[in-house]
Structure 1
Amino acid sequence: MKPFNPLAGNPLATRDDFAKACISLLDPLIPSLTLGYSAVKLGETGTRYDETAAQIEGYARPLWALAALLAGGYKWEGTQKFVEGLGNGTDPEHEEYWGVALDTDQRMVEMCPIGFTLAVAGDHFWDGLNERQRANVAEYFDITDREMPNTNWLWFRVFANLGLSKNGYKYDHDRMEKDMNHLDTFYRGEGWSNDGPRDYTQMDYYSGSFAIQYLQLLYAKIAGDVDPVRAEKFKERARLYALDFVHYFHEDGRAIAFGRSLTYKFAMVGFWAAVAFANVELPAPLTWGVVKGLLLRNLRWWSKQPAAFTPSGTLTIGYTYPNQFMSDNYNSPGSPYWAMLSFAPLAVPADHPFWTSPEESFPSLSIPPTVSLKHPGHIVTRLGGHTFLLSSKQQCHYPLRAADAKYGKFAYSSAFAYSVSTGSYSLWSSAPDSTLSVTYGDDAEWRTRKKCDTDSIEVIEGTPVLVSTWAPLEGVNIRTWLIPPAEETPNWHIRVHHISTARPVKTAEGSFTVSNERRGDNRELEVYSEGEDGRFGSVSEAFAVSRSGAVGIVDAGKTSRVGETMNMDSNSNLLLNRTVCPLLLGAIEKEAWYITLVYALPAEEREEDWRKTWVNGYKERPKIPPWVENIVPH
């Protein structure tokens, strides 16, 4: 059976369109509700937590959207089932009781959308419960003494209490204050909060759309009447953050694929949804029309990704297609419904300027094409037909599947998604795209950058440059400079590496990847022929061109690296299930300097346009900056 995308064909232009999209995503869940309506079972894959908690996710996460839908005056025929499910799931005497939340229990995460629902749609959910059921909910939400991870999780306890407080029920005000005061210690400045302790830099979508900024804005709206000072502080942080966060989106609506939990899909635009919900006017050029466009264009892009859904119309674990390799060990079949938080604007009335303002395009003329962002350690650019970032600061502060791929690569793009390792004893399975891989020998593992020992953004001859030191293997020390594109050669960025090693190593440096399917018969790419899809590798360079675009890599230094195009392991890439990666392969005895040119041009809807221009762009190589010539020995 073919996938069924419920968003397909929806113009997503008006408030009613948005409501229809919301309902179209809720409807396919009904057949998977349990008999007591307290859980939704969408699949058989497992997680690090128990199956009951996994099915609670399937119940609770759609509430992000259902609550906003109801708060906005819309109706949905499945609402009463979810109300009954809340009563049954929190009833210790019911056979579908969710069970007591223990320390670091996933159940506490799901209290966040439930708390939001009680706060904004209490006339349906709280009023729909009798006194005993309300007491059960309050008892279930009593997690004051539970141990929680030192991350955004603390917000979930805040929202459990917030839901009770908005309905006049007893809650733990002191615990809320302690949690929010501690969450404030994550704040770094200019709107940015770290997702965790100060010793690490983890500023991904959890810093914004998935959790911290999003929940700060929801809190500001819901509790602004009783906590006005903190509410205004959160709004001001959003105004600052928005001026940076807008750079992570491309004109076509896509967001840069970076970090963990990308199975949450269109939750990536949750920040813009929360801006509308909280009625926060942003600085120029971020008008209401621009905010509206950022949100709706992203949803439209997802409406064109059929494999992001199952044949029954439910969301899949994966990014644009079902993919367990890229998933995290906390992703259940219900996890992707965190995406539903992007429907928050349904809660604001039809006469709100978010809905009445004409949609505006991306403000390309009003913001610079390339910026350096000191807090996340990113240089972000829109040059070259896609939005991408260079990265040299971030790491996850706890064990995470494929952490090196999700945080340690040199570049992340809106058009060329990253790949994750499916194994480490072969190069093709170790995800060598957008990184420098190192191994001691044929029988040893390939290692890439997982964390930086030092990192900085330096302005050299007027250009921001990311500088980092890192050690993929014991005795192997690398200093890397990442240089963004110049306007004269917008499709190229430059990498410089100084490698010193205590023993001989082999290296492999990769560009972005493209589809390994050619036009027409979808067969594997063959040797490039002018005007056709294909691949090419020779001394010092390699490139590939296919239906998803053109990518390449060139050795511009004095080393003798060999170019090769390698088939990546199937399903290792977030965006495409069959990919090929141009690589430069080398060997080092003791020391080497690498100067690498990386090319990328994404495909466009008008295929004849980009296919005519990519060759000329590839042939026109960027100039090596004089400062690079000066530091590299001749």
Structure 2
Amino acid sequence: MKKYTLLFVLIVVTGLYNTINAQKTKKKETAALQVTQGLQDRQVWVNNLYKIAYPVIHNLAEGTLKQNLPLEIGPQYYLPVKKVTYLEAVGRTMAGVAPWLALPDDETAEGKMRKQLRDELLKGLRNAVDPAHPDYLNFRTEGQPIVDAAYVAHAFLRAPKALWEPLDAVTKQRFIEEFKSLRNRKGAYNNWLLFSALNEGFLLSIGEQYDPARIDFGVRKIKEWYVGDGWYSDGEKFSMDYYNSYVIHPMLVDLLKILVEKKMAQQQDYDQAIQRMVRHAEFLERIISPEGTYPAFGRSITYRTAAFQVLAQVALMEKLPAHITQAQVRGALTAVIDKMYSGNQNFDSNGWLVLGFNGHQPMIADQYTSTGSLYICSIGFLTLGLPASHAFWTDAATDWTSRKAWKGEPVKKDYKVEY
């Protein structure tokens, strides 16, 4: 009898052992699958950002940007395109790739792509401010360079060790003088105030002479134009468009960060701006449809994924609200990026972006939009600045809000906030 009892116990113990092992194996396989899926999502981002940025960065490095960038313009375009479009392309591309290029080198395929772009961009930046170079970029005339110099400044602020510090002393001084040259012009009485302010904020951040009046005026007016619930008015009258994401929240937050560090603003001002930006990110996450589309409303819709800069930056800063997971933001933005760029409808035969929202649609381009303007789309990719090992990329895929809602699953009620 004892023999059979021991045999039974052995069978039970063996069964339990096998079950536990099987469960552990399944958990490992599930975890591995989750990581694989996240890395596949990341690859979608990497491939498409590289696809967008490479023509601009490579041609600037080779001294062929002015030779090869198409000069397609929108209806009733009113700017001298050759004086503005090249700086537009460079500054806007830089602002989007900066966090990604700031990651350390590694021997992965992605790491090699990243290093190539960083090395070429550093080479190109020397060309950009060399008056004797064929790709010398115009900071000195027209109003538009105030805008696109600010995107250059934003890139330097986002990746100082990768993009600013490695520059030689002559190139740095040339950039400083180009930024200072912008002061003999003024821009529009709207989000443009932030461009002037951020240009001066960058100079402040590197210990250079700066204009405090431009900084103070820009910050004060934008704060006055806050209309509530995460939205600023772009000027005195509110417009329903994506300029809160293209410009206002990210530039205000990053400018205030500099001012707090320099004891020129209160921590509570920065914290409040962050709260407002986080609230705006909630709206952006909700407007992404179950299929990865989003509404084409407001001016400058040819800026494409720039509409999601706020959501991408909030995720990069790890400031997402508790009810929005990193994985659902990854899923939502991957769906948008894949739908918009993995095909070739938004590129010409040489790989340059074409005027339009999703395809060649020049009739919807604004009167200030040229090919160079389109490269602002890269700022929707900021979250690539989180390494591949980060939970944003490794957590299990999760449906985003609109997917949950249209499936009849529980979603958080949405109410205005008072910040």
Q: TM class, shorter-chain normalised?
A: 0.7 to 0.9
* Letter in structure 2 aligned against 1:146: R
CA distance in 1, matches of 2:196, 2:321: 28
CA distance in 1, matches of 2:314, 2:94: 19
Report 1:374-413 matches (<5 A).
Answer: none
Aligned to 1:21: 48
What residue ranges of structure 2 are gaps of 5+ in the alignment? 1-36, 105-110
Report 1:75-94 matches (<5 A).
Answer: 75-92=114-131, 94=133
* Letter in structure 2 aligned against 1:204: D
Are 2:153 and 2:202, in contact at CA under 8 Å, matched by a contact in 1? yes
Aligned to 1:235: 274
Q: 1:302 to 1:49 in 2, by over 3 A?
A: same
Q: 1:278 to 1:84 in 2, by over 3 A?
A: same
Match of 2:90, SS state, is: helix
Task: Give the drift of 1:102.
Answer: 4.3
Task: Give the drift of 1:101.
Answer: 3.6
Are 2:38 and 2:396, in contact at CA under 8 Å, matched by a contact in 1? no
Aligned to 1:106: 144
1:71 aligns with 2:102: yes
RMSD value, Cα: 3.1
CA distance in 2, matches of 1:19, 1:367: 30
* Letter in structure 2 aligned against 1:65: G
CA distance in 2, matches of 1:137, 1:277: 27
Are 1:154 and 1:179, in contact at CA under 8 Å, matched by a contact in 2? yes
Aligned to 2:220: 181
Aligned to 1:205: 242
Per mean C-alpha deviation after superposition, the further-off stretch among 63-72 and 187-196 is 63-72
Report 1:114-125 matches (<5 A).
Answer: 114-125=152-163
Are 1:38 and 1:88, in contact at CA under 8 Å, matched by a contact in 2? no
What residue ranges of structure 1 are gaps of 5+ in the alignment? 1-9, 376-634
Q: 1:15 to 1:98 in 2, by over 3 A?
A: same
Aligned to 1:49: 79
CA distance in 1, matches of 2:48, 2:259: 28
Task: Give the drift of 1:77.
Answer: 1.7
CA distance in 2, matches of 1:294, 1:177: 37
CA distance in 2, matches of 1:264, 1:69: 20
- Is the strand fraction higher in 1 or 2? 1
Aligned to 1:134: 172
Report 1:556-571 matches (<5 A).
Answer: none
Q: 1:125 to 1:241 in 2, by over 3 A?
A: closer
Aligned to 1:415: none
Task: Give the drift of 1:153.
Answer: 1.5
CA distance in 2, matches of 1:189, 1:246: 18
Are 2:306 and 2:379, in contact at CA under 8 Å, matched by a contact in 1? yes
Match of 1:307, SS state, is: coil
- Is the helix fraction higher in 1 or 2? 2
Are 1:288 and 1:354, in contact at CA under 8 Å, matched by a contact in 2? yes
Residue of 332, 338, 341 corresponding to 2:379: 341
Q: 1:359 to 1:72 in 2, by over 3 A?
A: farther
Per mean C-alpha deviation after superposition, the further-off stretch among 10-19 and 140-149 is 10-19
Q: TM-score, normalising length from structure 1?
A: 0.52
Match of 2:365, SS state, is: coil
Q: 1:276 to 1:148 in 2, by over 3 A?
A: same
Cα-to-partner distance string for 1:484-531 (whole Å, 9 max, x where unaligned): xxxxxxxxxxxxxxxxxxxxxxxxxxxxxxxxxxxxxxxxxxxxxxxx
Task: Give the drift of 1:373.
Answer: 8.2
Task: Give the drift of 1:240.
Answer: 2.6
Task: Give the drift of 1:367.
Answer: 4.1
Match of 1:188, SS state, is: strand
CA distance in 2, matches of 1:278, 1:40: 38
Report 1:295-374 matches (<5 A).
Answer: 295-363=333-401, 364=405, 365-367=409-411
Identity of matched residues, %: 24
CA distance in 2, matches of 1:78, 1:244: 33
CA distance in 2, matches of 1:237, 1:149: 24
Cα-to-partner distance string for 1:221-261 (whole Å, 9 max, x where unaligned): 66664453332111111233234444422112111111111
* Letter in structure 2 aligned against 1:67: A
Are 1:151 and 1:196, in contact at CA under 8 Å, matched by a contact in 2? yes
Are 1:33 and 1:40, in contact at CA under 8 Å, matched by a contact in 2? no
Aligned to 1:275: 314
Task: Give the drift of 1:202.
Answer: 0.5
Q: 1:229 to 1:361 in 2, by over 3 A?
A: same
Per mean C-alpha deviation after superposition, the further-off stretch among 272-281 and 27-36 is 27-36
Report 1:486-565 matches (<5 A).
Answer: none
Q: TM-score, normalising length from structure 2?
A: 0.76
CA distance in 1, matches of 2:43, 2:270: 29
Q: 1:256 to 1:272 in 2, by over 3 A?
A: same
Match of 2:115, SS state, is: coil
Aligned to 2:63: 36
Cα-to-partner distance string for 1:393-433 (whole Å, 9 max, x where unaligned): xxxxxxxxxxxxxxxxxxxxxxxxxxxxxxxxxxxxxxxxx
CA distance in 1, matches of 2:47, 2:256: 27
Q: 1:147 to 1:314 in 2, by over 3 A?
A: same
Aligned residues: 360
Match of 2:364, SS state, is: coil
Report 1:144-155 matches (<5 A).
Answer: 144=183, 146-155=185-194
Aligned to 1:58: 89
CA distance in 1, matches of 2:257, 2:398: 25
Are 1:60 and 1:113, in contact at CA under 8 Å, matched by a contact in 2? yes
Match of 1:176, SS state, is: helix
* Letter in structure 2 aligned against 1:281: L
CA distance in 1, matches of 2:344, 2:333: 19
Higher relative contact order by CA 8 Å / sep ≥ 6: 1 or 2? 2
Aligned to 2:302: 263
Are 1:57 and 1:334, in contact at CA under 8 Å, matched by a contact in 2? yes
CA distance in 1, matches of 2:285, 2:162: 35
Are 1:220 and 1:235, in contact at CA under 8 Å, matched by a contact in 2? no
* Letter in structure 2 aligned against 1:212: I
